């Protein structure tokens, strides 16, 4: 007699999860457009700031907007992961380049904090691998974000080992340890299941763990791996995760998507007025290269603009879409996505991976 009721409850639970995921996805998409506009317009305003005070206000707006965009992206990724609609975009990449980028980001974020970051890698790992480099970096950063948040002094250690290898796959094992405030007793794997969990970060003040670890485990599982907690230690915390990648592919498939969407990049103010990037960018100190520019010079110029977070890189990519697609192949899809999200760090990583491949 209870079976139909149990089946109905299970069905209702699945439907509720689906509705929640759809809601998160819709809200995230609605928020991204105005945030992108704020980021773009703030960048333009910074180039014309008349005083240091104005510049500081704009820098604060820019920093806060990026934090908000990061949170929105997390919501969207969580929604896609829970619905099973997030797809990996595999391509050849250099693991060293990816880890160098992670290291530089960590050093920048730690600033003057008395925390040392150390990275050790297994020499047996091939230099070039095949997988979704941007999602792997996101997975690593989910754990690093947590370590940085709860470690005010001491050390953060990242280890990368090769767990298994055959002709078709390479399994990597990551361990991240910190000397922060540690984990409350008995919390364990609940951290990966419940995004509402709170931690007693070494004081009476509760701090939210956020959805980062939930996303991390789902990403690891999407890459045919998993994630977990190493036996709690004091002081600090230690996490592990595994991913399955492939040996570098010798032949890349041709790009199946075009850059047509990139041609519509724009900034929009809160009144709904829209203008193309080319129209609103102020006069450039460095003109955009012409159609006859060699691909080497084009790539170097694009890398430099990305490094400086110069929004003119969007117009540069739009003008030379065909050349970039021919040169980058399948990586053009990933670059287009990164630029659409204003994720210049990920865009640089994609170009670095292609150059080193």
Report the 10 Å Cβ neighbour count for 186.
7
Confidence of residue 65 (pLDDT cuts 50, 70, 90): confident
In contact, 230 and 175? CB cutoff 8 Å? yes
Contact, 177 vs 157, CB < 8 A? yes
The residues, ordered by sequence, that sit 6+ positions from 310 with a Cβ below 8 Å of its Cβ are 304
pLDDT in tens, 160-198: 999 999 999 999 999 999 998 777 665 666 666 654 444
Does residue 295 or residue 155 have the better pLDDT? 155
* Residue found under tokens 């990037």: 277
Please state, for a pLDDT cut of 70, what percent of the chain lies above it.
71
Q: Which two tokens stand for residue 251?
A: 């032949």
Please enumerate in sequence order all residues whose Cβ is within 8 A of that of 276, keeping only pairs 6 or more positions apart, or say none. 265, 266
CA distance 255 to 25: 27
- Average pLDDT (278-289) is 43
For the chain, what is the mean pLDDT? 76
Q: What pLDDT is stored for residue 268 in this prediction?
A: 35
């Amino acid at each position: 007699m209870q079976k139909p009721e149990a089946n109905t409850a299970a069905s209702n639970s699945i439907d509720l999860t689906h509705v929640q995921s759809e809601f998160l996805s819709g809200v995230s998409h609605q928020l991204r457009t105005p945030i992108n506009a704020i980021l773009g317009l703030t960048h333009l305003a910074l180039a014309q700031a008349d005083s240091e005070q104005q510049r500081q206000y704009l820098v604060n707006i820019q920093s806060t907007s990026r934090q908000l965009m990061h949170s929105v992206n997390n919501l969207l990724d969580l929604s896609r992961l829970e619905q099973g609609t997030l797809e990996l975009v595999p391509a050849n990449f250099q693991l060293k380049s990816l880890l160098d980028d992670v290291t530089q980001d960590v050093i920048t974020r730690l600033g003057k904090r008395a925390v040392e970051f150390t990275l050790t890698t297994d020499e047996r790992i091939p230099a070039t691998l095949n997988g979704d480099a941007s999602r792997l970096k996101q997975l690593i950063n989910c754990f690093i974000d947590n370590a940085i948040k709860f470690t005010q002094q001491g050390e953060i250690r990242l280890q990368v080992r090769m767990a298994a290898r055959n002709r078709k796959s390479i399994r990597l094992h990551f361990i991240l340890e910190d000397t922060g405030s540690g984990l409350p007793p008995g919390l364990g794997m609940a951290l990966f299941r419940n995004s509402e969990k709170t931690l007693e970060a070494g004081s009476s003040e509760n701090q939210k763990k956020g959805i980062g670890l939930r996303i991390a485990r789902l990403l690891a599982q999407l890459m045919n791996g998993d994630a977990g907690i190493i036996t709690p230690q004091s002081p600090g915390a230690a996490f592990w995760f595994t991913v399955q990648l492939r040996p570098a592919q010798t032949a890349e498939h041709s790009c199946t998507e075009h850059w047509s969407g990139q041609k519509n990049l724009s900034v929009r103010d809160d009144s709904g007025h829209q203008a193309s990037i080319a129209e609103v960018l102020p006069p450039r100190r460095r003109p955009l290269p012409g159609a006859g520019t060699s691909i080497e010079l084009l790539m170097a110029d694009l890398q430099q603009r990305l490094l400086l977070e110069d929004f003119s890189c969007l117009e540069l990519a739009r003008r030379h879409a065909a050349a970039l697609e021919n040169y980058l192949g399948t990586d053009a899809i990933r670059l287009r996505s990164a630029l659409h999200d204003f994720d210049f760090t990920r865009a640089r990583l994609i170009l670095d991976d292609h150059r080193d491949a």
